[in-house]
Homo-oligomer: A and B are copies of this chain.
Amino acid sequence: METVGFIGLGIMGLPMCRNLLRAGYAVVVHDVAPAAVAAAVAAGAVAAGSSSAVAARCDTVIAMLPNSPHVRAALLGPDGVAAGARPGALVIDMSSIDPTVSREVGAALAGAGLRFLDAPVSGGEPKAVDGTLAIMVGGAALDFAAALPLLRRLGGTIVHCGDVGAGNVAKLANQIIVGLNLAAVAEALALVARAGVDPATVLAAIRGGAAGSAILEAKASQMLAGDMRPGFRVDLHHKDLANALAAGRALGAPLPLTAQVLELFQAARAAGLGDADHSAIARVYAQLAGAGAGAGTED
């Protein structure tokens, strides 16, 4: 069966790599963390010493990295994929990054005779483990078709959103909406709590109507309980919104509310909640409403 390269074996990358191995692919891996490489090798992968060495050994290379600079370095840097890739190889970047960087990377790889898809995911570690991620893909239709059998081992919903960069545009649109819907629930509950009304009763009254949302269903009770376990971490959502604003600046799209929500996540981080679930934004409201740093929950 086909050999696939996999660069970046973090919380998301490692289980994705395992799913490919389980499906029968031969996988050549690289990561800066030796322990992560060891875990992948223990699952059947073969280690290579650099991103370019990975690329030298396969026709399809997946990257799953923290942010734009890591992607730029791993794909275009001195020991990067482009430096070692086989002619016409397909590079699939599944990291969540600024789409203007995806386009820049895609153009550079095209200039080197390589094909490129940006294919960020949604769903977090549990869906990475289950192989049921939502995958939003940008790139040429032929490349999307070529990648589809592989992506089906990793995700449940796989949508071709447009040209290179469209995957990350869709991901950022998702993160903007999720961030604002979260803040909406936190802000409304802050008013309810301050008015001395029972938040759970209000939620029961409104959840079935126009205020209903996946976030309200998933996170409102977690906010009320003061449950901080992730879920999706504040630091990651903060990173995504910073990418959205960077893209907005590059593309000329003012994003005034996203800019405010980012600052609220910034305040959550400053309060030591970077590793907490992003619903911890409710704590910032509690702080603004005078509950003080020691308050257990926002009500």
Contacts and interface: CB of A to CB of B under 8 A. Distances in A.
Contacts of A165: 195, 197
A230 to B, nearest CB: 13
A169 B187 contact: no
Interface stretch (A9-17, A45-53, A174-182): A174-182
B244 A191 contact: yes
Given A174-B210, A180-B184, A266-B254, A195 B247 contact: yes
Given A169-B197, A198-B162, A289 B180 contact: no
Contacts of A218: 210
Contacts of A208: 134, 157
Nearest to A220: B177
Contacts of A260: 256-257, 259-260
A195 B247 CA distance: 9
Nearest to A172: B191
Q: How many copies does the complex hold?
A: 4
Interface string A209-247: 111111110100000000000000000001000101101
A266 B188 CA distance: 16
Given A169-B192, A180-B257, 9 more contacts: A122-B206, A159-B204, A161-B201, A177-B213, A178-B210, A179-B184, A212-B214, A256-B288, A288-B288
The 4 A-B pairs with the shortest beta carbon distances in the complex, nearest first, are A213-B213, A270-B290, A180-B184, A159-B205
Contacts of A292: 292-293
A253 interface: yes
Interface of A: 99, 122-123, 134, 136, 138, 157, 159-163, 165-166, 169-170, 172-174, 176-181, 183-185, 187-198, 201-202, 204-206, 208-216, 218, 238, 242, 244-245, 247-249, 251-264, 266-267, 269-272, 284-285, 287-290, 292-294
Given A162-B197, A201-B162, A210-B214, A263 B255 contact: yes
A158 to B, nearest CB: 9
Q: Chain A: interface secondary structure?
A: helix
A256 B163 CA distance: 34
A259 B263 contact: yes
Nearest to A179: B184
B134 A209 contact: yes
Contacts of A166: 195, 197, 201-202
Contacts of A262: 259
14 contacts: A134-B206, A166-B197, A169-B195, A174-B211, A194-B252, A195-B251, A209-B214, A211-B214, A254-B266, A256-B256, A267-B290, A270-B288, A271-B290, A272-B290
A108 to B, nearest CB: 15
Contacts of A157: 205, 208-209
B191 A187 contact: no
